[in-house]
Amino acid sequence: MKSLSTLIKLVVCSSFCLIITGNTSYGQTLVTYPEPVASFEKKSDLYLVSVTSGSETKDSYVYVSRAGTGAPLWEWQGMEGRTFHFTTFSFSGTATVTVTKLGSTATSATLRPDRVGLGTVSTTSVSGGKQVTFTLSQSRKISVEFDDDAGLQHTLMIFADPLEAAADIPDSTAANVYKVSTVDTLIVPAGKTIVYFAPGLYNIHYWRVPATVSQVYISGGAYVRGYIGANRTTTTLSLKINGRGIISNDVWGFHYPKVTPPYDPVSTDWYKSIVISGGKKHTVEGITLVDGTSFNVVLSCDSSLAKNLKIHGFRYNNDGITLAGSDATVTDCFVRVGDDGILTNGSKNFKIDKCVFWHLRGGSIIQLGWRPHNISGTNVIENCDVIHAEWILPQTQNSGFINYMGNVSGASNAVIENFTVKDIYFDTEVLKLIDLRVDRGIKFPINIRNFLFKNIHAKIPLTHPSFSSYFNGYDATNKLSNIRFNEFYINGTLINQANHADSGYFKRGNYADPLIFFEYTDLSSEIFNQNFNSSSSLSAYISATPDNGQFTSLSATGPGTIVSINSNKLRFNRSATADYGYFARTADFSPVPEVIQYKAEVTVSGNTAGVTQNQVAVFQVGKGFVDGNNALTGTPLENNALLHSRLGINFAPTVGQFSFRDISGALNSAVFSGTQSFTWVMNNSGKTVSYVAPDGSDELLAADRWDLWVGNVKIFDEKLSNGAADVTLSDLKFAFISGTGVIDLDNIVLTSPVITGMFSSSALPLTEPAPAVPKLPVKPEAPVRPLLQLSVYAAPDQMQVDVSVKSEKEEEGELGIYNFNGKELLKTKVRLEKGTNKFSLPVRNMRQGIHIATLITNSNAARIKFIR
């Protein structure tokens, strides 16, 4: 086998030098990757790709993956005879891509994802086939679909990557780098902490990465056949597996090494392409994984990162990425597999974003688990595209964009909660969208709750023979609850509380609370924004007639406090107790907002060790503020008559730590360190308003109250404003008035949410009837009369709740009152007559704040939020 040596060239330019090591060029704007070996059998016989960036034009090598033939259906799941072609290059700036399909008769090609905006382009005839050209201005994963392949049997993916960071590319000649040869047994010598695969063809079989290795680098042009396993349970050393090369299992049989036909179900005995167990902060980045014999990437570790992976496999059990730890992130990945795309077996704080999915016939795109287990914290799935989904049977249990199977024994008292699924776009019609149910043949108890689906753009066939979204709990104790939808579109129609049941797309069975569809849109307008990046001079941020990024004053009252711009942040350094630092914006906002969402980042340093210093600094919002010291207080603190809301900062006794303070309520938050982003929402509208919280949830806020979030966690809830009457949200001020230390502020953004519409309490059937005819498009303009209408009034000075129910028929029901955390305050049986029914319910342990009333009958349900 021919060995590739490292090529080093020195290129002298007029203003700088480039050193090219291997196939990667520091300073280049375009990098393509070589053929692993001459006449490689994995070279595409159907596509040619070239790329132009700046003055350079280069060919980009195209690979092919072929599905097997003659195997049982359960291995290839109907993929026999199909091929998948792909190429990878890296660039910065812009790249013009030219694709030639050999022997083609196509007149056009469609470029997906749709929302990239490349659309459908016409082909041109060239020698040997047809050609299309398009330009990219950032890294993308683009499917090129010629119209002479209507069944997508032989498709091409363009993986246009960002340039690799110099810090991610090891020097193959460094003393601690072990450069693998193409006939290597991979016994890594002592002292070698980095393993380097240069361009070439390798067969490593199964390799256990030594615990002393911190990086495995797979260069573009390296084609590594084999499996990589790493056990980090006995070391704290993090592992990075990265590069632009390829890992393939193409020369081994299904479920290798357990290949005994017809099927070996013991997945623990199968080799996986990459497995990292134990430890934390491991990274798998940039590489391509193809032709897996079972699972592709398994991360059984905490704080893992899967970034810019490209995964393809035709086989059944080709799960894409399995996350079996906490605090895991999957970002900017392409997943095209025939089983679960991303499987969340871990415990908390998942983030999946910027991914492109092409799903084959088996599995779900996001699988929440095959056995009961706990997922808590804050979990986000956002900004993803589904370009194809090839499920063929709507009744298939494991399918859909998001699914929970749960038919294997697992944890007791399990809860899966706190998911925000937002900004998901479908280029393709799907038979299954959401499947959250515990009613399969084999089932185990679990609670599934607190899911928000926001800004979803789905497509479902109009002649779909079954429901596309299912919701069903286990029993009255283990159920589905608080499943919410906002800006949820099917086939371009906004789905709301009134039309969703008649749409025929949703089925809610037993032990599932009513689905909640919010019918408002948050049209927030920005009223102030400053990140302190434009200048290191304070004067650039000050004006007597300020724009939406300027203050009217930004200064200190004496030399004991220094105000400056430091590393693109606003810094207040207070060393003397006689002087104060402040910013003020005393020119009123126009128009004056009724609601403000105030965001900023705070960092504390240099505070005195061993000393707690309360209320050293204060954020203030109100009217009639002055620049500098207030005449009544003698400090930059405004007098109470001018304040609507104020928020304090305390210094903790540990250097670099601080807390927030509700000054009016004399309450302190938990202690924080490092840079913390807060969101402070205050309401001066005279009525209850709703806003979108940092965790993606929809929150209610009563008049003259404020909430505080740090990150995605609510710290203070429904706190009273300062109490002054007729105070508007016109002016801003920050004052550092006691203690010694440094406070850095950055990314100060104020928005004014404008809320339109409302959320509905209309009823929906507990179990919708199966449609007898094919579904028609949803028609939201058609009048829908709810079977139950629920309204609630709770006077703040009375220990009772007045409930009014309008019913279309006589029936019995159960009326419940809960606080906003879900604690039951009252539950009672009621008898409904046709028409309006009124009930007064004594509730003696109800505090002021947001509450929920529910009414459940044999055939209907309604629920509404209310304020006491």
CB neighbour list of residue 571: distance below 8 Å, 6 or more residues apart: 562, 563, 564, 565, 742, 743, 744, 745
Where does residue 727 rank: exposed (0-12), middle (13-18), buried (19+ CB within 10 A)? buried
Nearest-CA neighbor of 91 among 126, 49, 120? 49
Confidence tier at 259 by pLDDT (50, 70, 90):
low
Helix (H) or strand (E) holding 415: strand 415-429
Nearest-CA neighbor of 155 among 83, 98, 69? 83
Q: Cα–Cα distance between 618 and 556 in angstroms, integer?
A: 15
Where does residue 188 rank: exposed (0-12), middle (13-18), buried (19+ CB within 10 A)? middle
What spatial distance separates the first Cα and last Cα of the chain, rounded to whole Å?
Answer: 78
Query: Which residue type, as a one-letter code, is found at position 132?
Result: V
- Of the chain, the percentage scoring pLDDT greater than 90 comes to 62
Q: Which residues pair with 90 in a beta bridge?
A: 31, 161
CB neighbour list of residue 806: distance below 8 Å, 6 or more residues apart: 788, 789, 835, 836, 837
Q: Please report the pLDDT score of residue 238 as a whole number.
A: 97
- CB 587, CB 735: distance < 8 Å: no
Q: Please report the pLDDT score of residue 783 as a whole number.
A: 36
Confidence tier at 781 by pLDDT (50, 70, 90):
very low
Quickly count: other Cβ atoms within 10 Å of residue 405's Cβ. 22
As a whole number, mean pLDDT of residues 771-783 equals: 32
pLDDT beyond 80 at 776: no
CA–CA–CA angle 779, 782, 788 (5° rounding):
110
Nearest-CA neighbor of 159 among 343, 286, 327, 294? 286
Give the pLDDT confidence of 22-46 residue by residue, as tens digits: 344 445 699 999 999 999 999 999 9
- Of the chain, the percentage scoring pLDDT greater than 70 comes to 87
pLDDT beyond 50 at 11: no
Residue 279 Ramachandran class (φ > 0 left, ψ -120 to 50 alpha, else beta): left
How far is the CA of 565 from the CAs of 531, 554, 555, 619, 736, in angstroms? 11, 11, 12, 19, 16
More confident residue, 487 or 224: 224
Q: Cα–Cα distance between 85 and 96 in angstroms, integer?
A: 19
Confidence tier at 849 by pLDDT (50, 70, 90):
low
More confident residue, 770 or 659: 659
Q: Please report the pLDDT score of residue 762 as a whole number.
A: 32
As a whole number, mean pLDDT of residues 456-475 equals: 87
Give the pLDDT confidence of 357-403 residue by residue, as tens digits: 999 988 999 999 998 999 998 899 999 999 999 987 766 788 999 99
- Tokens at residue 324, please? 């079996």
Nearest-CA neighbor of 272 among 258, 289, 242, 292? 292
781, 785, 788, 794 alpha-carbon torsion, rounded to 10°? 60
Q: Please report the pLDDT score of residue 185 as a whole number.
A: 80
Range with the lowest mean pLDDT among 10-19, 468-477, 650-659, 799-808? 10-19
More confident residue, 496 or 551: 551
Strands 246-248, 283-285: pairing is unpaired
Nearest-CA neighbor of 264 among 255, 272, 273? 255
Q: Please report the pLDDT score of residue 389 as a whole number.
A: 94
Query: Which residue type, as a one-letter code, is found at position 131?
Result: Q
Give the pLDDT confidence of 42-83 residue by residue, as tens digits: 999 999 999 999 899 999 999 999 998 765 556 887 888 899
Residue owning tokens 């139950």: 788
CB neighbour list of residue 531: distance below 8 Å, 6 or more residues apart: 568, 746, 747, 748
pLDDT beyond 70 at 703: yes
Residue 22 Ramachandran class (φ > 0 left, ψ -120 to 50 alpha, else beta): left
| 3-class state of residue 221 by DSSP | coil
- Tokens at residue 674, please? 């490092």
CA–CA–CA angle 837, 842, 845 (5° rounding):
140
Nearest-CA neighbor of 863 among 788, 769, 756? 788
Give the pLDDT confidence of 301-345 residue by residue, as tens digits: 999 999 999 999 999 899 999 999 999 999 999 999 999 999 998
Q: Cα–Cα distance between 477 and 717 in angstroms, integer?
A: 28
Mean per-residue pLDDT of the chain: 86
Q: Cα–Cα distance between 627 and 607 in angstroms, integer?
A: 26
Give the pLDDT confidence of 139-197 residue by residue, as tens digits: 999 999 999 998 999 999 999 999 999 999 999 999 999 999 987 789 999 999 999 99
pLDDT beyond 50 at 4: no
Query: Which residue type, as a one-letter code, is found at position 418?
Result: N
Q: Please report the pLDDT score of residue 770 as a whole number.
A: 29
Give the pLDDT confidence of 202-215 residue by residue, as tens digits: 999 999 999 999 99
Range with the lowest mean pLDDT among 494-508, 647-661, 744-758, 767-781? 767-781
pLDDT beyond 60 at 346: yes
Confidence tier at 447 by pLDDT (50, 70, 90):
very high
pLDDT beyond 60 at 761: no
Give the pLDDT confidence of 138-151 residue by residue, as tens digits: 999 999 999 999 89
Q: Please report the pLDDT score of residue 777 as a whole number.
A: 36
| 3-class state of residue 198 by DSSP | coil
Q: Please report the pLDDT score of residue 71 as a whole number.
A: 59
